Chains A and B, each alone.
Chain A
């Protein structure tokens, strides 16, 4: 018998139907991949299951009982645990305090059993195979570790069904491997998982079954062994999807940006140059320094040595404003924290940077802005109702396009993309690649920093791999493939003996 059966679930917000008669069945000891583009209704369905929202119609049977008047507390006590995509970590608390928040064990005098909490945290982290000190302040953890802590918080709970919403976005390969091992172990003792991810290889690695949603409707469900990634993608995006080669040979211009033994926070002696119209992919493991290079070129971080040339001119005293004047733009990583002005409208978000470039003229000619915005909206295919809607009303992919519009508005020549497709579905992703290619055809120079090597393979002319703050290798287009890149990113190429371990990671 199934553990979970959600039947004919419908939900609409403000008259817009988000879920239309959706059905989802998950068996015991099963990993069930829930697949769909952003806005397909996955999150809403999971929020209904976890008691965050109430459904308009339909019913949920969990563990043989119907969940009526579902609430967050009710779903939790029924045995449903939800790992949210957004991190709910308290930076000012220690790791073990985060883990036990709200359910701290106390002795009869109400004093916290601190030792017990710490040792249990230590054990859990050991099981997870992650190196996190229970006494570390959460603020000191990098994003990947925070994500693991978030997952650990939930796994720590005694639940029957775990919902993992894009749990691997900030994890490196070894961490993903550990996570999947734990999922496997819990599965063996009969626990079930709903796994939401946009990464096909992961879906096929750990899932038993799948359900595809599109535009709030149930599309297909079945055994993962009986379907191919290409077929799933087709179900996901409908007819519009085509996997054709995007890359085109282009004529490149002169060198436009050059770094000479450039050093800064987290990277050293970087020598690099890029020609006008070129697309270069930067990659490396978390903390390898590639993101920091971009941030330093854009004036966010201070350089600590070497030289930076833009348009042949050496840049000293770099700042964000100076970089913008030199026609450099950066689409920052982590959209929610670093790009989105959540209280402001789509139009205001589109124009905030242009305002800095043209700040002599202080009056805002709103009609002019609206007109130019609607051009950008068409070019970038932004799906939005009114320019006066808050930016938070858009899906992740459309938010990212607004941020791209923000920078195109500054007429920048060099556009740095830091992990631009984080949390974006397949359809929007390939749209963004296409936009990047079109930009380069229009003469823009592009550096794209990403952990996802297939992205680089799709669009880049070259790939620069970072390891421990240094350039490990620069690969030509023909040489780019996941295996070569991983060998250099983990420095396995220079350390015989570790080689086998890396191969193990990859073969899984």
Chain B
């Protein structure tokens, strides 16, 4: 090749490098936003002229409940643990909470109960993992089995097939209204989710407790020797995860007014883990941002809508979700390797 031919190519390379570098920086920090945008644009294209503001706010609405659970899962994963019990405790607490509502008729007491019950279930996992050093995978696998089974058994003893809110209650309308109403066309449940997410973002970025979570996920032994109370932090993280599951159960009651112990919240632990991973949080702990989870869950929710829009068999839902999870993690791995 002649010299004349080479020089323009070199000039190109010099210009291309910074752009390429800037893109890489953008990608490594915000890949969850980019993955979300790609899926979102695919959704817009597939929906075409049928796209409306409602179809977009529906994404917000339908990611609120799973999103709330995923926030807790994100915290647990950031410490390097895992919580497999969230789907089951979602149903378990949901069932109990409906019973409490049907007895008291008070929305406030019901909300308080849901959160407190979740906190307790989570703290139980946390004590076993933190204080007794049992592996979180096993502890939460066990509580996953226990919670759903107890919920189904209770249902069976009551001679029913579903936990149902009694429609005759005085406050029924306001409860249902809360679960299905909008503020400025935005679904209220989505607003609740965003507020909780904002609180979690504050906690992990601006609070000392949040830094302890990253420290434990980063290097547990070093965190301990630096004075971090590892046991207590673990218990708190699982308790928060549980409380968020309780809140999610309350949101679901307000939205759907019933819980089916056999099917509600099924595979939620896996969907939550998937949302967290698509949100860019590392399964080995110590890395990632809570903000990613908001995008991760929305990306995951849109997949459902795309499948419906394409008129595909709903049974293929999980196939597509699984494939997207693989692609998302694959892209993140490529970036990691290049580092």
Contact = CB atoms under 8 A, between A and B. Distances in A.
B58 interface: no
A344 B214 contact: yes
Contacts of A406: 226
Query: Which has the most chain A C-beta neighbours within 10 Å: B219, B227, B229?
Result: B227
B227 A337 contact: no
Given A344-B215, A352-B227, A356-B227, A338 B206 contact: no
B225 A364 contact: no
A332 B227 CA distance: 12
Given A364-B206, A364-B208, A356 B215 contact: no
B227 A342 contact: no
Interface in A395-425: 406, 410
Interface in B224-245: 224-229
Interface string A340-370: 1111100010011101111100111010000
B217 A343 contact: yes
B219 A341 contact: yes
Interface string A434-456: 00000000000000000000000
Contacts of B224: 300, 320
A212 interface: no
B211 interface: yes
A342 B218 contact: yes
Contacts of A47: none
A497 B325 CA distance: 70
Contacts of B229: 321, 356
Nearest to B219: A341
Contacts of A366: 206
B208 to A, nearest CB: 4
A364 B226 contact: no
A362 B208 contact: yes
Given A356-B228, A362-B209, A341 B222 contact: yes
Contacts, number: 78
A318 interface: no
Interface string B179-219: 00000000000000000000000000011110110110111
A324 B227 contact: yes
Contacts of B225: 300, 320, 330, 332, 338-339
Given A343-B286, A363-B206, A364-B207, A355 B222 contact: no
A348 B210 CA distance: 11
A342 B219 contact: yes
Given A320-B225, A356-B227, A356-B228, A341 B215 contact: yes
19 contacts: A300-B225, A321-B229, A324-B227, A338-B221, A338-B222, A339-B226, A340-B222, A341-B214, A341-B215, A341-B226, A341-B286, A342-B219, A352-B223, A352-B228, A353-B226, A353-B227, A355-B211, A356-B226, A356-B229
A340 B212 CA distance: 13
Query: Which has the most chain B C-beta neighbours within 10 Å: A320, A330, A357, A410?
Result: A320
Nearest to A340: B222
B212 to A, nearest CB: 7
Query: Which has the most chain A C-beta neighbours within 10 Å: B206, B211, B221, B222?
Result: B222
Chain A, interface size category, equals 20 to 34
Contacts of B215: 341, 344, 348, 352
B266 interface: no
B287 interface: yes
A344 B218 contact: yes
A341 B287 contact: no
A213 to B, nearest CB: 26
Contacts of B286: 341-344
A389 to B, nearest CB: 14
Nearest to B209: A362
Contacts of B218: 341-344
Contacts of A344: 211, 214-215, 218, 286
B295 to A, nearest CB: 21
B125 to A, nearest CB: 23
A56 to B, nearest CB: 15
Nearest to B205: A364
B233 to A, nearest CB: 10
Contacts of A362: 207-209
A215 to B, nearest CB: 25
A352 B226 contact: yes
Contacts of A337: 219, 221-222
Nearest 5 CB-CB pairs, A to B? A343-B286, A356-B227, A355-B208, A343-B218, A341-B218
Nearest to A330: B225
A307 B221 CA distance: 27
A331 to B, nearest CB: 10
A335 to B, nearest CB: 9
Given A338-B222, A341-B215, A353-B226, 18 more contacts: A300-B224, A337-B222, A339-B222, A339-B226, A341-B222, A341-B286, A342-B218, A342-B219, A344-B211, A348-B214, A352-B223, A355-B208, A355-B211, A356-B227, A364-B207, A364-B208, A406-B226, A410-B227
A353 to B, nearest CB: 5
A179 B217 CA distance: 38
Nearest to A332: B225
Contacts of B207: 362-364
Contacts of B217: 343
A506 B287 CA distance: 49
Contacts of A364: 206-208, 211
Contacts of B222: 332, 337-341
Given A321-B227, A321-B229, A339-B226, A352 B221 contact: no
B224 to A, nearest CB: 7
A410 B221 CA distance: 19
Contacts of A353: 226-227
Contact of B208 (A340, A342, A359): A359
Query: Which has the most chain A C-beta neighbours within 10 Å: B212, B225, B229, B286?
Result: B225
Query: Which has the most chain B C-beta neighbours within 10 Å: A332, A337, A341, A357?
Result: A341
Contact of A340 (B206, B211, B219): B219
Contacts of A356: 226-229
Query: Which has the most chain B C-beta neighbours within 10 Å: A351, A352, A358?
Result: A352
A357 B219 contact: no
Contact of A320 (B206, B211, B212, B227): B227
A231 B150 CA distance: 77
